[in-house]
Amino acid sequence: MTRKHKPLPLLENVTITDIAAEGKSLARVDDMVVFVPYTVPGDIVDLQVRKKRHHYCEAEVVRFLHYSEIREQPKCSHYGICGGCKWQHLPYQEQLKAKQKQVFDQLTRIGKISLPEFHPILGSKKIWEYRNKLEFGCSNKRWLTRDEVASGTTFDDMNAIGFHIAGAFDKILPIEKCWLMDDLHNQIRNSIRDYALQSGMTFYDLREQKGLLRDIMIRNSNTGEWMVLVQFHFDEPDDEAKAMGLLQHLADKFPQITSLLYVNNQKGNDTFGDLTVETFKGNDYIYEQMEDLKFKVGPKSFYQTNTEQAYHLYCVARDFAHLTGNELVYDLYTGTGTIANFVAHRAKQVIGIEYVPEAIEDAKVNSDINHIHNTLFYAGDMKDILTDTFIAEHGRPDVMITDPPRAGMHPDVVKTILRAAPGRIVYVSCNPATQARDLSELDTDYQVDAVQPVDMFPHTPHVENVCLLTRRMK
């Protein structure tokens, strides 16, 4: 016999009181904490509980009774549906306050860290069109919004180019205009869509693993270059000819594209790091400029997606390192060597370590094109490369810069850092929660002297944070 679940309650006349994690706000009803998306402090709402736990629940708004005075009108027509830019309704200065508080709370509550020098967050000068890279999925199963379903709207076809919907891996929300990148990217994406529809090109079916048009990646740079990579899935004998027709259309219509690339991806997922990228027009790279340095960015390269804020982030890291020209610097999780090359002219030598071999090759190229001769790069798993033997061979670092992924550093890496005993550690993080965990492990030998949050992603709850650690006197 099927067990009947108790209906979840409707909460009426609830006042939103604060900003919470993951882009949500919170309210308190009796002794229950309620997390609610797409609201701001001061909103008064009726809520339908969707998930209930012992001490908290998650709910969504069914009716606004009063709009907060600080609420802003979202700019994007896709707001609330695509899942991105969850804070468009929150004024930017309020976003910065929430991110500053998030960093402070996570370092002090999770890490139990004393913060003697906590700098105000560095906001982004550009809060729209700040990204240099976006990726779009192509699908023959477009997502229908609630309004479209309610109105009974029908479509001649269900093909779409846009963003994946969370919780529906095979559905794509069609995007007409995204405000995250220069508007040329909207023109390019919509032109691909129009050409594909007019020419009868098939769109990818994620469940059936068939269909020609699969994915699109668009990048631009502060040197004015544009890269477009289209992933195809060749099924039929004439698919390659159709694909070349689309690429020629883009080449003719958009002379701004300096790197036009494509991939035939027959895998079950959209990653192409292990696939051959073909060049249809131009170069297989673009350049980013940072001070007097040039960074070569290929289709598989990692580069911070907010170029202007990346510069400020790296300046903070370089300033925190307090380099005089005599230091041996280890740059952990170096990626394509951006930080390593950025600080190299102020150090005696910089050694970069990164898991991805292709990224290390990019790092070496970036040193070569900038005539930097005091860098060394090694590829491999951090916990396997950064060992006591490695340090004995290359020298004990004076400064360590670490910029790990969201999961933070492996415990073995933390232990090796403690044994290496650098005088200073500069910890760059995209996840202050895991940063706080790692700082608590380093706290036996290191104290946090300075903290600098940097906002890389306006209208989202994500925040970067840089900490300076100095070795305790014993």
Backbone dihedral angles phi then psi of residue 450, each to the nearest 5 degrees = -155, 145
Per-residue pLDDT tens digits for 91-142: 999 999 999 999 999 999 988 888 888 999 999 999 999 999 999 999 999 9
Catalytic positions are 430
pLDDT level of residue 144 (50, 70, 90 thresholds): confident
Q: What are the C-alpha distances in Å from 266 to residues 232, 254, 456? A: 8, 28, 34
Give the strand pairing for 328-332 and 399-402: parallel
Per-residue pLDDT tens digits for 242-285: 999 999 999 999 999 999 999 999 999 999 989 999 999 999 99
The model's pTM: 0.92
* Closest among 309, 162, 135, 139 to 227, alpha carbons compared: 135
Q: Burial, 207: exposed, middle or buried (Cβ in 10 Å; 0-12, 13-18, 19+)?
A: exposed
What is the C-alpha to C-alpha distance for residues 228 and 220, in angstroms, rounded to an integer? 9
Q: Burial, 284: exposed, middle or buried (Cβ in 10 Å; 0-12, 13-18, 19+)?
A: middle
Instruction: State the chain's mean pLDDT as an integer.
Output: 94
What is the C-alpha to C-alpha distance for residues 121 and 20, in angstroms, rounded to an integer? 18
Q: For 165-269, where are the alpha helices, taking DSSP H only?
A: 184-198, 239-253
Q: Could you tell me the two tokens for 397?
A: 């670092």
How are strands ordered across the β-sheet holding 226-232? 168-174, 160-165, 133-139, 213-220, 226-232, 257-264, 278-282
What is the C-alpha to C-alpha distance for residues 362 and 298, in angstroms, rounded to an integer? 8
What is the C-alpha to C-alpha distance for residues 65 and 81, in angstroms, rounded to an integer? 22
Neighbouring CB atoms inside 10 A of 326's CB total 9
